[in-house]
Amino acid sequence: MTASVGPRGGRAALYRREAGSDAFVKAHASLPEWFAGNIDTHSLAAAGGTVVFGVEDGRAFLSEDGGNSWSQVLGGSSPVTCVGVGAA
């Protein structure tokens, strides 16, 4: 899930929950501490252990271990407005 301080973003972050736990923890491994804009619902997708999300500054991040670690897979200047995870 994602959260920010308001509808226009600010201190936005991605949070994950471990199986069997009720607590959400901030995803931080190899990610910026905060994102300026919101990480919108259509900019976050997951299937199995693969998770991808994009942000308005053109960057996209990928995790293949359920959000334990992340790598930046796109660094552009156009906003990422939609992402998806497909079957291999």
Q: What is the value of pTM for the model shown?
A: 0.88
Close Cβ partners of 85 (under 8 Å, ≥ 6 residues apart): 45, 46, 47, 50, 51, 52
Kindly write down the DSSP assignment for every residue of 26-85, as one continuous string. Answer: E--TTS-S-BSS---GGGEEEETTEEEEE-TTSEEEEESSTTSS-EEEEE-SSPP-----
In whole angstroms, give the CA distance from residue 55 to residue 63. 15
User: Could you list the pLDDT tens digit for every one of the 88 residues in the chain?
Assistant: 899 998 878 899 999 988 888 999 999 889 999 999 899 889 999 998 999 999 999 999 999 999 999 999 999 889 999 999 986 6
Sequence spans of domains, the chain: 2-75
